[in-house]
Chain A
Amino acid sequence: MSPSYTFRHPLLVRRESASLTMKFLAPLIALGVAVLFNLALYVAIGRDPVAVFYALLIEPFLSWASFSEVLLKASPLMLIAQGLAIGFRAKVFNIGAEGQFILGAIFASAIPIWFPAATGQWIWPAMLVLGALGGACWASITAFWRVRFNANEILVSLMLSLVAMQVLNYLLVGPWKDPEGFNFPQSVMFQYDALVPTLIPGTRVNVSLLITLVLSLVAWLLMQRSFQGYKLQVGGLAPRAAGYAGFSESRAIWLALLIAGGAAGLAGAAEVAGPLGQLQRSISTGYGYAAIIVAYLGGLHPIGIIFSALLMAALYIGGDNAMVSAGLPIAAVRVFLGSVLLSYLISLAFVRYRLDWASR
């Protein structure tokens, strides 16, 4: 019997059944809450909130030029997130997509850097294949340590990302530095045939977007329709049941990491062979980490990820727009991105749980 004057903390209680309507409404409610919160923030820092939200949320979709940039940014996010989600569903937490992305970019760059005079339409496809291989190789280090010595794959893959960055730095200040580049740490500009062909004329969107969409479909087939996907999911949901059924855990770990690494590597290759056109230090502005958010925002489902990648990319482009057009400081843009994700996670929690004030 608790005395009546004690403060009762509410408890989070799992709902018997989550409402399907709420599940779909949750992201919209989250966006609404975040928008209101940031509205107050912009008024507080003396910016015109209407101008900011116009630039942030509307403008990316108004012109083809703007929307093409959303597609350009969404492609690597989508590709990496598809790979990661497969692992996450099998409870293999590869946090090192950033490093796998960088290694993909490095492997792909080897061709134009070693053969700058080579011509032919074989170059860019070969670069993409090499990139996927590079990412998979980097991820295989994590898989090996996990399977062989049971080393935590979160730590190993994350720390390997730092190593990857140093490998990139070494190449750029050392053997792969552009001899004409005034000692600046960047490679030569790639030749024309080393660039992925443009998909939509007049924009920077290239054929790699198509590859990403096709691979998203493949991810859907694998996870929702194949026995292999079923085995991975069982391994994630009920590892012991998977063990009794004779599904090999090490096989699942290898598969999950190689797929994710390959996807991230391919994304890295598409980035250097796409909008960058050379290997440089800032090849990734955190795609590997942002893709983790994209994967979870998309509910770890291949179709959900297509939409969450587009949303995330639109927010990035909108954030840039708001900086340019509405004079928003970059810190406020990041607060907006962060508050969208935070309120999404909170609303998602309320879809699955309810607050219980009474029972104690």
Chain B
Amino acid sequence: MTKVITRRTMMKTVAAAGAASAIGGQTVYASEEPLGIALVIPSPVGDVGWGHALAAGLDPVKAAYGDKVKVTIIENIAEGPDADRIMNKTVADGNKFLIAGSFGYQNGGLQIAKRFPDVTVLHASGFKVAPNFSPFAAKYFQGTYLMGMAAAALTKTGKLGSVSAFAIPELITSVNAFTLGAQAVRPDIEVSVVWVNTWFDPAKEQEAASALLAQNCDVIFSNAQDTPSVISLCEEKGVYAFNLNSSMVKYAPKKYLGCVATDWSPFFKASVDAHLAGSFKGANAFLGVAEKVVATVDWNADIPAGTMTAIKDSEANIAAGSFSPFTGPITKADGSEGVAAGATMTDDQIIAMDWHVKGVVTPLPK
């Protein structure tokens, strides 16, 4: 089996930890015991997807620290009382570093952070911050914008589709940037979205994809599915598709458009470093191409060379910080002004984005 996640040289610092080390102030633990790191995720680790990407992000930490860390991965944990108990249990077992891998673990994770000041908690996709509790999220939108450019070059119908998990800002921004990227190449692009309201239901996700294909969408964005459900169906139907987190090219050798991959290892490594140095400071970690957490990989060879050059240019500009997909003028789906000409949305605005851009034809669930 090929390890699909690209492993890049680890960075010495990432934005969040960089700011953190300047402040410090927590007790330094110089114990002989290995640091227990527990990762709790809502779906199976599997070979691909969100849980897999999180688990793979810990590999470089293990490689760097060897037997100084002990990693426990607990998969398939439903959000709710069970997750709270299991997270408490990991801490009771002596783990001092907890990665709560789902939005729904927020309240339970926050309670642990408050009760155990010596435990560091990283929480996926949330918005609450505490001194030892950092929410983290990927700037997927930087990658989906590039995917949109490729999709617009390949679509015949001008209709793109997305099977999306939940209408939370993280995924709304992914769809919006995908739309904006496509419109940058072909202004008349329309995007339909099906919100399936699940992180893991392959059958339902395939039904949603079939519905989009029936509406003549000919490039599909599998927005936060943990299995190749959508990707493999699209391969079967001869339709281009791409996904987030980790490459699924082996499930769609012909029609795989590419992957907006996440590599959490720079962030995990920096956070573990900070925890061990006693300098961890909770902060909102919103990480993208510049921090090497988000990267596009496995581009399809069918994408025209000219488009590919434009994509690579845009990616370089995003990495350099000289371009953001959310730079005005942007019109909302309801026709009102979203972002004024020349203005760029701040991270805080992007994290709270609750509207679709013009061109997304499916109304947002209210």
Contacts and interface: CB of A to CB of B under 8 A. Distances in A.
Nearest to B81: A275
Given A173-B365, A330-B75, A183 B168 contact: yes
Interface residues of B, number: 34
Contact of A204 (B74, B75, B81, B92): B81
Given A169-B197, A182-B168, A285 B76 contact: no
A321 B92 CA distance: 11
Interface residues of A, number: 31
A121 interface: no
Interface string B69-100: 00010111011111011100110110000000
Contacts of B78: 282, 285
A323 B82 CA distance: 12
Given A323-B86, A324-B38, A280 B103 contact: no
Nearest to B167: A183
Contacts of B340: none
Contact of B80 (A65, A283, A325): A283
Interface in A7-54: none
A282 B197 CA distance: 12
Contacts of A276: 80-81
Interface string A305-324: 00000000000010011011
Contacts of A204: 81
B28 interface: no
A277 B104 CA distance: 13
Contacts, number: 75
Contact of B104 (A186, A275, A320): A186
B107 interface: yes
A249 interface: no
B211 interface: no
Interface of A: 65, 69, 72, 169, 173-174, 182-186, 189, 204, 271, 275-277, 280-283, 285, 317, 320-321, 323-325, 327, 329-330
17 contacts: A65-B92, A173-B197, A173-B365, A184-B166, A185-B166, A185-B197, A186-B104, A276-B81, A277-B107, A280-B79, A283-B80, A285-B78, A285-B80, A317-B85, A324-B72, A324-B86, A330-B76
Interface of B: 38, 44, 72, 74-76, 78-82, 84-86, 89-90, 92-93, 103-104, 107, 127, 166-169, 172, 195, 197, 352, 354, 364-366
